[in-house]
Amino acid sequence: MVQGMGFVTAIYHGLTPVIESSTLFQSFTRVLVDSKSGFAKYKIVLKDGQTVGYEDVMLWKWLLYARGTASQGALELNILSNSRIRANASFIGTIQVAKNPCDDAVAESTYDSAAGSYATGASVSGYTSYASGTYSLKWTKAGVSSVPLLMFALPHHLQSFDATTNQRKSSIQLQTTTKGLATAILSDSWVMNEPDLPVSMGFAPWNPIFKNEPNYSASAIQVIAIAATSEVSQDMSGQTNLNSMYFSGKALSKFATIVYTIHDIMKDSALANAGLTRLKDAFAVFAENRQKYPLVYESAWKGIVSTAAYVTGEWGADFGNAYYNDHHFHWGYFIHAAAIIGYLDPSWLDANRDWVNTLIRDGLYESADGKDEESSSEDALFAYATKMWGKTSGDKSMEARGNVMLSILSRSLQNYFLLESSNQNQPSKFIANKVTGIVRGFRIIRLTLATRFNTFRGMSILSYMLFLKKWRRAHDVRIHMIPINPSSALTRTRNFVREEWEKYFDNGRVDRIDDGFKGILYANLAIADPASAWKFFSQNNFQSHWLDGGASRAWYLAYAAGVVISMNA
């Protein structure tokens, strides 16, 4: 099994092939038999199309290719019932099955030319040249080596194909479960280009259109300083040394951003250094593994996991960290904090380099529906943090990988997750939601875990049901926003942010929200309307409970002001 494979391939070593289908066979026809080469081709028609009227069904055609040995001759298959096909003898060789949309002759010819080879794995490689990135997928294959490989590409792949790969597109398109139409490519490798890498993005507020670092006015710095001075004096140890790696990381990243704001935007070295000292102490708790649930090496999947599940007996403790769930979400915050600390104090790097590099290695865990993605923004944070850690630590290759990852994520998230009205990949009725909830390999769940487990905690069933219809969609969007950082404007376009705001929050609707979600919304609004965001965060009666636990008013002010300045530059 290789994701994107053009055929479903079964390899037989002496068993008698049996093919069964829960969808009834309409017909089964032998098209070609070549006993000398051991090759056979069949057409199968299933009643698996869409119903037209009351009883009529559009029939879809499937192709079956069997390639055995010359000594045993071609495979003979017989239909025994409308749900069962069986060979007349044992078989050594391969059977490949493919769906031919609308019984298209050109598509069938393409399948014919690719039958006999199949993918067994793939490797990824790439390189960059300043702001231009190129990456390739090269498959290892088995079967008939002279036959080109047929693999399906998703829409975001097609958008970035180089000229040579683009010429190898076929007419075959099949509907995926969650990512639009997939197109079959007749090639053993693909080459893709990302021509506008975010190389100018740093720790400061950043805009993909203007890209220049902001030059703050004295009056803006004065407002930012009031918030930053208050926030940097908070109990860093108390807010960061928690029983959750996820929430601890969020707090460390927040305080790192505050210290950066004080140092680089306010230019207050004394206050920044005092905050940095306390931040390094808070970070050391984790680098030295002194937190409540230390990290351990897990030998089965060979990665680093939290001991929370082992101690508590709850497999889902800390969002399933022990099972590698959301590792890049969790570790991204730590990597981001480390990148800022190392930037402000390069002497700190050597003692912490190995620990941070370890976190950058991602983990795996099994899921019945494939790996899921709930927070597109925290996915982007991991790529951004990787880029910035590479820059801070002097690892140019890591920095380049981070830039390429960010560009690919920007493209893919805008295709499948962050749904502008012009989106062509998700169902038209779904696009109106503006964001997906949780995207798995085989399905999309509209309601996110964050909404289910946080927004409605403690409600009665009746209250839950009444509240659910009105608020669940609006609350789902926040998990795709946090944390607002320089990469946010790359993945979340101004037009998308504007559409989302008009869908859920304009005309005073945002003012009905009275918790940390409100601050997230206004910080996100800064991408499209930074002046309104600045007005909200700079108001005299700003309430601290409008900030999420991983959010900083000082950073939100700096971000909004920075985007305003870059837009007006």
Q: Does 210 fall in a domain?
A: no
Residues 161 and 249 in one domain: no
Give the per-residue pLDDT at 362.
66
Q: Are 249 and 332 contacting, i.e. CB atoms less than 8 angstroms apart?
A: yes
Give the integer Cα–Cα distance in Å for 182 and 185. Answer: 10
Q: Does 208 fall in a domain?
A: no
Q: Does 404 fall in a domain?
A: yes
Residues 292 and 423 in one domain: yes
Q: Does 200 fall in a domain?
A: no
Q: Is 161 helix (H, G, I), strand (E, B) or coil?
A: strand
Q: For residue 261, how many other CB atoms are within 10 A of its CB?
A: 29
Residues 269 and 177 in one domain: no
Q: What is the 3-state secondary structure (H, E, C) of 81-149?
A: ECCEEEECCCEEEEEEEEEEHHHCHHHHHHHHHHCCEEEEEEEEEEEEECCEEEEEEEEEEEECCCCCC
Q: Does 558 fall in a domain?
A: yes
Q: Does 524 fall in a domain?
A: yes
Model confidence pTM above 0.85: yes
Give the integer Cα–Cα distance in Å for 269 and 275. Answer: 10
Residues 179 and 231 in one domain: no
Residues 228 and 176 in one domain: no
Per the structure, the complete domain to which residue 461 belongs is given by 218-568
Q: How many angstroms separate the Cα of 89 from the Cα of each of 32, 38, 76, 96, 151?
A: 18, 14, 8, 18, 31
Q: Does 352 fall in a domain?
A: yes
Model confidence over 124-160: pLDDT tens digits? 999 999 999 999 999 999 999 999 999 999 999 999 9
Q: Is 196 helix (H, G, I), strand (E, B) or coil?
A: coil
Q: Does 22 fall in a domain?
A: yes
Of 194, 226, 242, which marks where a domain is finished?
194
Q: Are 559 and 257 contacting, i.e. CB atoms less than 8 angstroms apart?
A: no
Give the integer Cα–Cα distance in Å for 425 and 159. Answer: 13
Residues 385 and 528 in one domain: yes
Give the per-residue pLDDT at 328.
86
Give the per-residue pLDDT at 374.
73
Of 151, 178, 194, which marks where a domain is finished?
194
Model confidence over 287-313: pLDDT tens digits? 999 999 999 999 988 889 999 999 999
Give the integer Cα–Cα distance in Å for 516 and 32. Answer: 66
Count of alpha carbons within 13 angstroms of residue 100, beta-carbon side: 21
Residues 189 and 239 in one domain: no
Residues 241 and 120 in one domain: no
Residues 308 and 175 in one domain: no
Give the integer Cα–Cα distance in Å for 537 and 245. Answer: 29
Residues 186 and 225 in one domain: no
Give the per-residue pLDDT at 392.
99
Residues 526 and 408 in one domain: yes
* Nearest C-alpha neighbor of 419 from the set 306, 340, 499, 310: 499
| CATH number (domain holding residue 327) | 1.50.10
The total of structural domains in the chain comes to 2
Q: What share of the chain is helix, strand, coil (3-state, %, to 5)?
A: 45, 20, 35
Active-site residue list:
326, 374, 378
Give the per-residue pLDDT at 370.
52
Residue 388, both tokens: 């910035």
Give the per-residue pLDDT at 461.
46
Count of alpha carbons within 13 angstroms of residue 86, beta-carbon side: 6
Mean pLDDT per 10-residue run, the chain (569 residues)?
94 96 90 87 81 48 92 91 94 96 88 97 96 98 96 98 98 92 98 98 92 89 98 98 97 99 98 99 98 94 92 92 87 98 99 96 58 80 97 98 97 94 90 78 53 42 46 70 96 97 94 94 97 98 96 98 76
Residues 222 and 343 in one domain: yes
Q: Is 19 helix (H, G, I), strand (E, B) or coil?
A: strand
Total number of residues shown for the chain: 569
* Nearest C-alpha neighbor of 223 from the set 188, 187, 261, 260: 261
Q: Are 438 and 192 contacting, i.e. CB atoms less than 8 angstroms apart?
A: no
